[in-house]
Amino acid sequence: MLRDKNLVPLSRQHQHALALCVRLDRAIQAGEIDPQPWQAEIVQLFEQEIAIHFAAEEKHVYPAAAKFTDLQPVVHELIAEHVHLRDLFGQAQARALDRAALSSFAVTLPQHIRKEERQLFESMQKVMTAEQLHTLGVALEKALQDAAQTCVLPGDARRQQPK
């Protein structure tokens, strides 16, 4: 199913996290892994994008989805997964993830993302009206603005200045 344009910003951020996990998994499989740089990259992604992403989902997406009885179980699962993932990000910040924990991270985060994309987002697109999705999209645009700004390259920032 094509992603509704109002959910696309979240899906783009999902792609950034998935790319990190693919690279991490490949490094682990190749046996070329120094946990410290990987943990630094995980923390950077969390600080620049995922913390804001999680907050936007928890404030806007999950409550909107939870209005539909059939979506409540997956919403509860995803909220619990956010708690677990925040713990993993905290461990990365403390530089406490070893090779096994990094391997687990490289599996856990993509599983969570796939659940959001394949179960939650697709179901939301089926049950929500175009107006409801638009309202959600407007709220997400505002909520994700800080994440977009942290990822702007210096030259790009000048082009985005209001005229």
pLDDT tens digit string along 73-83?
A: 999 999 999 99
- Judge whether 56 and 89 are in contact, CB under 8 Å: no
Confidence category of residue 106, pLDDT binned at 50, 70, 90: very high
Q: Which of 140, 138, 141, 124 minimizes the C-alpha distance to 4?
A: 124
Record the tokens describing residue 119, joined without a space: 């179960």
pLDDT tens string 52-77: 999 999 999 999 999 999 999 999 99
More confident residue, 33 or 149: 33
Pair 116, 78: CB distance under 8 Å: yes
User: Is 70 exceeded by the pLDDT of residue 163?
Assistant: no
pLDDT score of 32: 77
**If one looks up domain 8-146 in CATH, what number appears?**
1.20.120.520
Structure tokens at 152: 């702007």
At 62 the pLDDT is: 98
Average pLDDT over residues 29-52: 94
Burial 34-46 (b: 16+ CB within 10 A, else e): ebeebbeebbebb
CB distance 112 to 81 below 8 Å: yes
pLDDT attached to residue 1: 73
pLDDT at 73: 98
CB–CB of 81/115 below 8 Å? yes
Q: 121-153: buried (b, 16+ CB within 10 Å) or exposed (e) per residue?
A: bebbbeebeeeebeebbebbeebbeebeeeeee
State residue 153's pLDDT score.
40
For the cut 90, the answer to whether the pLDDT of residue 148 exceeds it is no
Range in 6-20, 25-39, 142-156 with the lowest mean pLDDT: 142-156
